[in-house]
């Protein structure tokens, strides 16, 4: 249809899902000499700004990324960060109720938002002469949100309904939620971003107000603008709209322990609603923020090599050659401030026990701890990752997200620009080391989802 | 705040100028039988191609539901001299992205490649289309995966409700069965049947090609020749016209779920209908996605019954429907359905406000143009126009056509469309028995 294809509440329900949206990165000189030039500056109030011009069409995307997420939910109130993302659409003193959405619509724009464990983002895509308008809207709701008891109560019902539809209706999402809770012990990465239903019910106006005052401030945010703009235009518009906002004193994020896991964890979930069995393996590994240079990139290559699509090792061996699975994939989610996550998901071919599938997976991935991947495997994985970065330059939102998520976890613009060359530099031995360091049995949770027998 | 900004924020909607122009897109005559549109842009070194073929699920033989989707799933699973694995590796080596989406009318294939790999990408696409292998072992593997996905979908209330809606709404007509088919018919499709299907449906007759990106007209002509010249030129016979549509009332497909899902539909316009854009404005105001619509305000924002609700005008070639969906708890479902009916009834009776009409116009005009900032989105949008029979100058005329629609036109559209007594509703889940809606007629799966 001819409407925008993006809904106003594109909530990311977990760190993992968020990374799916934000799986974006920029190519450097690898692709072409005239790759986009990136500028950055900081406003007096601490707002970080990144600008990437792209003059294909008179369209611009602004992404505002706050360094607050599910990790910052107070004890007993999981889901608050996600809830707050919803409340940002509930009106300000000068633009009450759904005035934000109405203004976006009447300016022919698209908007959306999402929450992860580490950050919360809002974006607007509009004709370039409307950039100032959407900056005004974001600046307004960063400072002047008008929270009423009634709006909080209704949005809480919406959150509960949304959680039931997205997570409770989906056996795979529930399994992942349970597995993450088991993987991270007391670290808040184990609490779902969407919140536990019984804790969502605790959210009130007081909690929301406190959260807003603590975390929504220009000195806790990153603004990325991609599109048909010049740096000077963005600077003067940003100064005019965001400049007057006062910085707030930020409360340092709690430094949560990530104690070593001393035992293996195996979850067996018998589900009334699941129709097909599923195997999920999660490893707690290093993130881009934690790892020494090149280490996270090696995990990225390892995930692509093992389970990135139908040419990957696991797919070829388990689905095509041995007929043990109907689907299998691996993924590395490394854009987190604390631990990253390496996941393997597989569906067994009918009649194949999950135990057999798990043994076969362990056998294959185990080999990569001891021997180097073949040259062909390595170059296939690397060229797909690097080309993927070029493809994502085709989307303003993907490109903006690549900068937003990186800066939100403490990386730099330079890190994003260098990513393709650092992927290129990954050697077979780096991949072997990443496998050996990452595939630690005690740092993993294995979940079996099985349809309950009736 | 500057005065200009205040105007943009608070005053009546201003129309956003269209950013795409027909002058940026050329209609080429490169491949016999197939329509080709091309927009050249060298910003990112890639080429995006979207091609549609008359090979959707509506062409499934009556006892072979799922045949078109099965053939589609095998596109790229081996062609010519390359078996399935060799073909996948050939694509992966150059990071060529090939996506295949079977719909009801068409099979939609999209290809994204670095421009430096264009020759190989188009050669592989040509092989996949004109020389599919359908190796028995590959067929068996893909069929098992498709059957398993169908089984998985049986536990997903969204999928169950959507399939149920189409089944109740279209009955035995070609749009009534799921694109993926059903387990029994899919299990019965043979290799010979697949080969016969692609000979008559993976063809240039009725094919539409849209290309955007880093190439030139001359280079593209050669690429298109590589990909499509070997295909037959004849088009399949047109689809018949449905005899009846709609099954008014609430149909419950019982299943044990945390949150039941409802799909609802009323008759909508064909894309060729002269009032289509007025209907599109009415739909936007009622339940348009990304718009602050009446349904979103009433059912979500005010009553808090759902995480989101939206409606679309789905204009397939032989029938149009206004299709909506939402999820709500079993206890809230009747209230939510009543909200939808009341919202439609009131809209039909009172019409839209002037503000709503101007907001919806600005939204439809502006958001249409946003796709042109991405080669891939642009190609998809162009192909969508081709498939729905629009001409290239529509890019230039669309904003004026929308601007010319009056509030009264939208009022009449609302009166035509929003007839809740004609509404087919399918709920996957359960309703509480004690307060079942009066006109809720419980029935089993068709």
Are the C-beta atoms of B24 and A134 separated by less than 8 Å? no
> Phi and psi for B273 in degrees, rounded to 5?
-65, 130
Rounded average pLDDT over A158-163 = 94
Which pLDDT value is given to residue A32? 42
pLDDT reading at A24 higher than 60: no
* B259 → closest Cβ in A159, A161, A276: A161
C-alpha to C-alpha distance for A222 and A404, rounded to whole angstroms: 7
Residue of chain B whose Cα is closest to the Cα of A97: B301
| Residue at a domain's end among A207, A241, A275 | A241
Contacts of B306 (CB under 8 A, 6+ apart): A158, A161, A165, B299, B300, B326, B327, B328, B332, B336
Q: Is the pLDDT of residue B377 over 50?
A: yes
Residue B381 in this model has a pLDDT that exceeds 80: yes
Distances (CA, A) of B276 to B273, B301, B320: 5, 29, 10
Task: For residue range B167-226, list pLDDT tens digits in order.
Answer: 999 999 999 999 999 999 999 999 999 999 999 999 999 999 999 999 999 999 999 999
> Looking at the complex, does the CB of residue A424 fall below 8 Å from at least one CB of chain B?
no
What's the gap in Å between the CA of A103 and the closest CA on chain B? 6
Question: Residues B253, B245: contact at Cβ < 8 Å?
Answer: no
List for chain A the helix, strand, coil content (%; round to 5): 45, 20, 35
**Residue A293 maps to a domain:** yes
Q: What percent of chain A has pLDDT over 70?
A: 92
Tell me, yes or no, whether A230 and A269 share the same domain. Answer: no
Which residues between 90 and 119 in chain A have a beta carbon less than 8 angstroms from any beta carbon of chain B? 95, 97-98, 101-103, 105-111
Q: Is the pLDDT of residue A25 over 60?
A: no
The two tokens of residue A50 are 């990144």
| The token pair that represents A123 in the structure block | 């974006």
**Residues B179/B65, Cβ–Cβ less than 8 Å:** no
Helix (H) or strand (E) holding B99: strand B97-102
- Backbone angles phi and psi of B311, in degrees to 5: -130, 155
Whether the predicted pLDDT of A184 surpasses 80: yes
Cβ of A109 and B307 within 8 Å? Answer: no
CA distance A190 to A370: 31
Q: Which residue blocks in B40-83 are alpha helix, DSSP H?
A: 67-74
Q: Are residues A343 and A409 in the same domain?
A: yes
DSSP B446: -
Please check whether residue A252 lies inside any domain of the structure. Answer: no
Mean pLDDT for A432-444 is 97
Q: Are A77 and A222 in the same domain?
A: yes
State how far the Cα of A324 lies from the Cα of A317, in Å rounded to an integer. Answer: 9
Residue A100 within a domain: yes
By residue count, chain B amounts to 446
What is the distance in angstroms between the Cα of B318 and the nearest Cα belonging to chain A? 17
Cβ–Cβ gap B291/A7 under 8 Å:
no
Are A213 and A283 contained in the same domain?
no
Task: Say yes or no: A446 and A382 in one domain.
Answer: yes
Residues 6+ apart with CB under 8 A from A208: A80, A83, A84, A87, A147, A152
Residue A375 gets which letter from DSSP? H
**How many domains is chain A partitioned into structurally?**
2
Nearest in space to B201 (alpha carbons), one of B60, B384, B74, B99: B60
- Shared-domain flag, residues A276 and A138: no
Residue B23 has pLDDT above 90, yes or no: no
Decide if pLDDT at A84 tops 80. Answer: yes
Q: Residue A394 falls within a domain, yes or no?
A: yes
Q: What is the pLDDT of residue B237?
A: 87
Q: How far is A176 from chain B (nearest CA, A)?
A: 17
What gap in Å lies between CA A186 and CA A72, rounded to an integer?
A: 14
Shortest distance, CA B198 to any CA of chain A (angstroms): 23
Cβ–Cβ below 8 Å for B284 and A3: yes
Cα–Cα distance, A367 to A432 (Å, whole number): 9
Structure tokens that stand for B375 in this block: 């080669």
Nearest CB to A350: which of B13, B141, B144? B144
Distance from the Cα of residue A431 to its chain's centroid: 23
- B230, B273, B5, B54: which is closest to B129 by C-alpha? B230
Residue of A nearest to B322 (CA): A1
Selected for mutation to probe chain A from B269, B307, B320, B352 (highest A CB count within 10 Å) is B307
* Domain annotation covers residue A49: yes
Q: Tally Cβ neighbours within 10 Å of residue A147.
A: 18
**Is 90 exceeded by the pLDDT of residue B7?**
no
Residues A188 and A106 in one domain: yes
Mean pLDDT of A98-119: 94
Q: Which of A105, A107, A380 sits opposite B8 (nearest CB)?
A: A107
Same domain, A195 and A274: no
Mean pLDDT across A137-149: 94
Examine residue A227 and state whether it is found in any structural domain, yes or no: yes
A5 part of a folded domain: no
Residue A241: which H helix or E strand, with range?
Answer: helix A231-241
A436 in contact with chain B, both atoms CB, cutoff 8 A: no
Per the CB < 8 A criterion, the answer to whether B269 and B330 are in contact is: no
Q: Average pLDDT, whole number, for chain B?
A: 92
Structural domains of chain B in order of their starting residue, each with its CATH number: 22-228 (3.30.830.10), 249-429 (3.30.830.10)
Task: Return the SS3 of B392.
Answer: coil
Closest to B255 in 3D by CA, of B336, B351, B161 = B161
Do B128 and B211 touch, CB atoms closer than 8 A?
no
CATH number at residue A411: 3.30.830.10
Shortest distance, CA A165 to any CA of chain B (angstroms):
5
* Assigned domain for A249 exists: no
Contact B91 A3 (CB under 8 A): no
| Whole-number pLDDT of residue B2 | 57
Residues of chain B neighbouring A276 (CB-CB closer than 8 A): 148, 151-152, 155
Q: Which of A85, A155, A177, A297 is catalytic?
A: A85
pLDDT at B43 over 50: yes
- CB contact set of A16 (below 8 Å; sequence gap of 6+): A176, A331, A333, A341, A343
- Cβ <8 Å between A110 and B91: no
Split at pLDDT 50, 70, 90, the class of A444 is very high
Max CA pair span of chain A: 66
Q: Which of B74, B110, B113 is nearest to B90 (CA)?
A: B113
Indicate the residue of A57, A136, A168 with minimum beta-carbon distance to B19.
Answer: A57
**For chain B, how far is it from start to end, CA to CA, in angstroms?**
59
Within this chain, do residues A199 and A337 fall inside the same structural domain, yes or no?
Answer: no
Q: Say whether A4 and B365 touch across the interface (CB within 8 A).
A: no
Provide the pLDDT for residue B22. Answer: 63
Cβ contact, residue pair A7, B256, below 8 Å: no
A269 shares a domain with A327: yes
Percent of chain B scored above 70 by pLDDT?
Answer: 91
Question: CA angle at residue A158 from B337 to A222, to 5 degrees?
Answer: 135
Among the ranges given (A32-46, A117-131, A221-235, B250-264), the one the predictor scored with the smallest mean pLDDT = A32-46
Are A80 and A130 contained in the same domain?
yes
| Cβ pair A38, A417 in contact under 8 A | yes
Same domain, A232 and A346: no
Give the whole-angstrom CA distance, residue A309 versus residue A377. 13
- How far is A251 from A215, CA to CA, in rounded Å? 8
Range(s) of the domain holding residue A356: 265-451
**Per-position DSSP letters for A74-123, written without gaps between them:** PTT-TTHHHHHHHHTTSBBSSSBTTHHHHHHHHTT-EEEEEE-SS-EEEE
Distance CA B245, CA B256 (A): 29
Instruction: Please write the tens of the pLDDT for every residue from B271-300.
Output: 999 999 999 999 999 999 989 999 999 999
CB-CB contact of B346 with B338 (8 Å): no
Alpha-carbon torsion B112, B115, B120, B125, what sign? positive
A149 lies within 8 A of chain B by CB: no
CA distance B55 to chain A (A): 21
| Inter-chain CB pairs, A–B, below 8 Å | 256
Nearest-Å Rg of the Cα atoms of chain A is 22
> From the candidates A24, A52, A56, which should be mutated to test the interface with B, based on the most B CB atoms within 10 A?
A56
Note the pLDDT of residue B244: 80
The conformation of residue B162, written as its DSSP 8-state character, comes to H
Q: What separation in angstroms does the CA of A69 have from each of A81, A114, A210, A215, B372?
A: 5, 10, 14, 10, 32
Is A85 designated active site?
yes
């Amino acid at each position: 249809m001819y409407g925008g294809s993006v809904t106003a509440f594109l909530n990311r329900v977990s760190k993992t899902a968020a990374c799916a949206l934000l799986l974006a990165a920029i190519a450097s000189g690898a692709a072409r000499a005239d790759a986009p030039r990136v500028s950055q500056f900081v406003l007096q109030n601490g707002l970080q700004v990144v600008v990437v011009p792209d003059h294909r069409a008179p369209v611009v995307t602004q992404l505002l990324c706050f360094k607050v997420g599910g990790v910052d939910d107070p004890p007993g109130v999981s889901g608050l960060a996600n809830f707050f993302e919803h409340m940002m659409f509930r009106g300000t003193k000068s633009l009450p109720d759904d005035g934000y959405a109405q203004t976006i619509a009447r300016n022919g724009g698209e908007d959306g938002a999402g929450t992860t464990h580490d950050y919360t983002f809002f974006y607007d895509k509009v004709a370039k002469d409307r950039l100032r308008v959407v900056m005004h809207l974001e600046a307004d709701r960063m400072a002047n949100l008008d929270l009423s008891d009634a709006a909080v109560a209704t949005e809480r019902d919406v959150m509960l309904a949304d959680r039931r539809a997205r997570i409770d209706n989906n056996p795979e999402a529930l399994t992942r939620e349970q597995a993450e809770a088991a993987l991270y012990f007391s670290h808040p990465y184990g609490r779902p971003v969407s919140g536990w239903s019984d804790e969502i019910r605790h959210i009130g106006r007081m909690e929301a107000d406190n959260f807003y005052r603590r975390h929504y401030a220009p000195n806790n945010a990153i603004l990325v603008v991609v599109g048909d703009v010049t740096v000077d235009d963005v600077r003067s518009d940003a100064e005019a709209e965001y400049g007057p906002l006062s910085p707030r004193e930020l409360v340092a994020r709690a430094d949560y322990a990530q104690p070593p896991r001393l035992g293996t964890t195996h979850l067996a979930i018998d589900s009334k609603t699941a129709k097909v069995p599923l195997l999920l393996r999660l490893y707690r590994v290093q993130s881009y923020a934690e790892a020494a240079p090149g280490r996270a990139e090696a995990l990225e290559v390892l995930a692509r090599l093992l389970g990135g699509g139908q040419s990957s090792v696991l797919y070829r061996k388990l689905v095509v050659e041995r007929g043990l699975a109907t689907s299998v994939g691996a993924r590395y989610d490394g854009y987190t401030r604390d631990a990253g996550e390496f996941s393997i998901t597989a569906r067994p071919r009918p009649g194949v026990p999950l135990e057999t599938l798990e043994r076969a997976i362990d056998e294959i991935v185990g080999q990569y701890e001891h021997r180097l991947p073949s040259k062909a495997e390595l170059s296939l994985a690397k060229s797909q990752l690097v080309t993927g970065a070029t493809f994502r330059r085709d989307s303003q939102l993907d490109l903006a997200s690549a900068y937003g998520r990186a800066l939100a976890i403490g990386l730099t613009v330079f890190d994003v620009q260098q990513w393709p060359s650092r992927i290129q530099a990954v050697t077979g031995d780096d991949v072997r080391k990443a496998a050996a360091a990452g595939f630690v049995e005690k740092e993993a949770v294995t979940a079996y989802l099985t349809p309950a027998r009736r | 705040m500057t005065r200009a900004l205040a105007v943009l924020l608070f005053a009546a909607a201003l129309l956003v100028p269209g950013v795409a122009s027909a002058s940026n897109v050329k209609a080429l005559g490169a491949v016999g039988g197939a329509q080709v549109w091309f927009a050249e842009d060298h910003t990112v070194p890639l080429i995006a191609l979207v091609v549609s073929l008359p090979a959707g699920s509506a062409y499934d033989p009556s006892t072979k539901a799922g045949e078109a989707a099965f053939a589609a799933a095998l596109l790229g699973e081996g062609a010519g001299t390359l078996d399935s694995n060799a073909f996948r590796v050939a694509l992966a080596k150059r990071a060529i992205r090939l996506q295949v989406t079977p719909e009801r009318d068409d099979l939609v294939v999209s290809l994204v490649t670095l421009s430096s790999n264009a020759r190989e990408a188009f050669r592989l696409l040509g092989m996949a289309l004109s020389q599919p292998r359908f190796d028995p072992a590959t067929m068996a593997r893909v069929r098992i995966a498709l059957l398993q996905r169908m089984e998985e979908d049986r536990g997903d209330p969204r999928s169950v409700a959507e399939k149920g809606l189409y089944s109740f709404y279209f009955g035995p007509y070609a749009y009534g069965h799921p694109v993926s088919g059903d387990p029994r018919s899919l299990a019965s499709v043979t290799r010979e049947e697949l080969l016969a299907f692609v000979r008559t449906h993976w063809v240039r007759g009725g094919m539409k090609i849209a290309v955007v990106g880093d190439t030139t007209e001359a280079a593209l002509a050669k690429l298109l020749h590589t990909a499509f010249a070997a295909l037959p030129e004849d088009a399949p016979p047109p689809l018949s016209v449905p005899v009846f549509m709609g099954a008014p009332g609430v149909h419950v497909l019982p299943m044990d779920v945390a949150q039941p899902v409802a799909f609802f539909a009323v008759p909508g316009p064909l894309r060729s209908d002269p009032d289509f854009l007025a209907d599109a404005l009415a739909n936007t105001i009622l339940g348009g996605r990304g718009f602050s619509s009446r349904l979103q305000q009433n059912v979500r924002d005010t009553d808090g019954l759902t995480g989101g609700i939206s409606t679309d005008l789905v204009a397939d070639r032989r029938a149009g429907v206004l299709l909506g969906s939402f999820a709500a708890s079993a206890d809230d479902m009747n209230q939510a359905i009543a909200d939808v009916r009341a919202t439609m009834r009131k809209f039909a009776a009172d019409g839209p406000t002037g503000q709503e009409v101007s907001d919806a116009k600005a939204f439809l005009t502006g958001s249409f143009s946003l796709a042109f900032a991405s080669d891939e989105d642009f190609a998809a949008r162009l192909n969508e126009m081709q498939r729905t029979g629009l001409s290239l100058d529509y890019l230039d005329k669309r904003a004026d056509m929308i601007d010319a629609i009056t509030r009264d036109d939208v009022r009449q559209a609302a009166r035509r469309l929003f007839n809740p007594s004609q509404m087919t509703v399918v709920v996957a889940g359960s309703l509480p028995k004690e307060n079942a809606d009066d006109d809720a007629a419980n029935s089993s799966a068709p």
